[in-house]
Structure 1
Amino acid sequence: MQSVVISALIVWVLFFNQLLAKTVVRVGAYQFPPYIELEHGLAKGFTVELIRQLNRMQQDYQFELVLTTPIRRHQDYQQGLFDAIFFEDPYWGWVQRGIEIDHSPAFAKDDEVFIALASNAHSQQWFDDIHDKTIAGILGYHYRITNYETDPELLATKYHMTLVNDHQASIELVLKQRTDTAIVTRSFFHQYLRSNPESSDKIIISDRVDQSYQHQLLINPEHGLAIETLYQWVLQILQQEQLSHKLHHYGLTQLPEVTEH
């Protein structure tokens, strides 16, 4: 019995020392399906899966998820609450604020599109002029149609925008005729229709794109992990059949490797 206890202690000490030897990479994430989805306080999505796979493929770094919000993420990063953020773009407020952060080449593409009730929007021409229509969007998100403004008061008065906390709420506002249109990511809309097929005939999706996401990896330049290394690891992970299938499943496009940036 004593030998079993000693063996267990040795294993525990070795495991603990291994954890101490690893450099922690805290990955900021906010509600942004299908990359991060929060259900009953638990996070799931592509970012969670990437973190899991990053921890499996190497032994030097321990990746950990840190939850933030779209509005708070820049401040949280500057306060040192997290080191990196995935499925992001440096022009989503980082460059504008003069924040020092390294970024990878884009590795995946998604689009933001407009949706409306099919009973109201009888053709694609309906989406040609959005400025006279009420719009649902996400609090803290940057939209091209609003010149990337995020101030809620300005968005409400100048752009007739109602701000909610997630894409599902935006879609429901359209279905309940509380707004004319909503801006949603193509990936989430695909996901929503799979869970709610009865809505597929009720909603029309625009050919018009508000903006295309060029998803990148961002990391603090003072962190020990180089952005080039992180980029290569993520590319390797996305070659896995399971992850590649998920990208295709949600209508995302994986972009070719960039060897220099």
Structure 2
Amino acid sequence: MVLKCSPIQLAHSVLLTLGIIWLTPVWAAQEIRVGAAHFPPYTVRPERGADTGLLSKLLNALNQLQSDYRFVLVPSSIPRRVRDFERGRVDMMMFENPAWGWQELSYTAVDMGLEDAEVFVARQNPDRAQRYFDDLSGKRLALFSGYHYAFAGFNSAPKFLTNTFSATLTYSHESNLLMVLRGRADIALMTRSNLIDIQRYDPKVKSQIMVSERVDQVYRHYALLRLDAPIKSQEFAQMLNNLRDSGQLRAIFGPYQIDVVAM
């Protein structure tokens, strides 16, 4: 049996089909997977699914800036992030530095124009002055496991740090600071931005600690892109420039004394 359609029914069917085509996007935003390892205040426990760090704020700004790409956060960890990048689980890592264990991999680096620093922190003592930080020998250090420190020649191997510097390694700046305050460690190495963040939430800490004028390192942040990443380095650099020119980078990072500098 052959079903027949009236001209009106046929026209209605054609218009409905065209309407569906017109309502369907011609293209969808390309997803860019950004690795997120716990690195406060940049990334805060991303594995819990409710990251409140600076990386999330930056990704939101990037997504609002344009519609060609959608930047999404993919939880990783400090020890695992290089392997995740190498295996293609993520397309990009931000707030990195080529000297931090990336020497054997192929990638494109984009200067983010952001600078932070690592400082020494000790418990406040009337008899202590800045010279206390001049010599680290014989002092118990509290360090973040997996971090690359200038005083240690950027060697992050746990055995080297524990044997050479009597270091205790943790995965928390807060724990390292508590070790200093409770007398279980003499000096903690802390990211300046993270120390500022802790003091904002617990102001009494400021009167209990002495922060070094000596800086272990000033580090420049880079974004590392896989060679086959969906986005090109030039495109991403231009996005960062747009956020810098609009003042959004300074609004995100300025409160943590992370310097927004020329690329």
Moved more, 79-88 or 113-122: 113-122
| Aligned residue in 1 for 2:100 | 92
Instruction: Please state how far the C-alpha of 1:241 moved relative to its aligned partner.
Output: 4.2
* Structure 1 counterpart SS, 2:139: coil
* Match for residue 53 of structure 2 among 41, 45, 48: 45
Q: 1:75 to 1:120 in 2, by over 3 A?
A: farther
| Aligned residue in 1 for 2:28 | 21
* Match for residue 81 of structure 2 among 73, 93, 98: 73
- Residue 140 of structure 1 aligns to which amino acid in structure 2? G
Moved more, 155-164 or 236-245: 236-245
Instruction: Please state how far the C-alpha of 1:222 moved relative to its aligned partner.
Output: 1.5
Moved more, 101-110 or 241-250: 241-250
* Structure 2 counterpart SS, 1:107: strand
Note if 1:148 corresponds to 2:151: no
Q: Decide whether the 8 Å contact of 1:142 with 1:150 is kept in 2.
A: yes
Q: Decide whether the 8 Å contact of 2:97 with 2:221 is kept in 1.
A: yes
- Residue 159 of structure 2 aligns to which amino acid in structure 1? E
- Residue 21 of structure 1 aligns to which amino acid in structure 2? A
| Aligned residue in 1 for 2:186 | 180
Larger radius of gyration: 2
Q: Decide whether the 8 Å contact of 1:114 with 1:127 is kept in 2.
A: yes
Gaps of 5+ in 1: 1-5
TM-score, length basis structure 2: 0.86
Note if 1:36 corresponds to 2:54: no
* Structure 1 counterpart SS, 2:51: strand
Distance 1:242 1:117 in 2: 36
* Match for residue 138 of structure 2 among 127, 132, 139: 132
Q: Decide whether the 8 Å contact of 2:118 with 2:192 is kept in 1.
A: yes
- Residue 110 of structure 1 aligns to which amino acid in structure 2? D
| Aligned residue in 2 for 1:3 | none
Note if 1:199 corresponds to 2:205: yes
Moved more, 108-117 or 21-30: 21-30
Gaps of 5+ in 2: 1-15
- Residue 249 of structure 1 aligns to which amino acid in structure 2? P
Cα RMSD between the aligned structures?
A: 2.2
* Structure 2 counterpart SS, 1:237: helix
Q: Decide whether the 8 Å contact of 1:217 with 1:231 is kept in 2.
A: no
Instruction: Please state how far the C-alpha of 1:140 moved relative to its aligned partner.
Output: 0.9
Distance 2:246 2:240 in 1: 10
Distance 2:163 2:262 in 1: 41
* Structure 1 counterpart SS, 2:210: strand
CA deviations over 1:172-214 (Å, ceiling 9, x no partner): 1111111000000111111111111111111000011111110
| Aligned residue in 2 for 1:123 | 129
Instruction: Please state how far the C-alpha of 1:246 moved relative to its aligned partner.
Output: 3.4
Q: Decide whether the 8 Å contact of 1:50 with 1:234 is kept in 2.
A: no
* Structure 2 counterpart SS, 1:103: strand
Distance 1:220 1:197 in 2: 41
Instruction: Please state how far the C-alpha of 1:243 moved relative to its aligned partner.
Output: 4.0
Instruction: Please state how far the C-alpha of 1:26 moved relative to its aligned partner.
Output: 0.4
CA deviations over 1:124-152 (Å, ceiling 9, x no partner): 00000012211111111111111112221
Distance 2:46 2:85 in 1: 24
Q: How many residues in Structure 1 have an aligned counterpart in Structure 2?
A: 245
Q: 1:126 to 1:62 in 2, by over 3 A?
A: same
* Structure 2 counterpart SS, 1:44: coil
Percent identity of equivalent pairs: 30
Q: Decide whether the 8 Å contact of 2:36 with 2:93 is kept in 1.
A: yes
* Match for residue 67 of structure 2 among 59, 63, 66: 59
Distance 1:113 1:197 in 2: 18
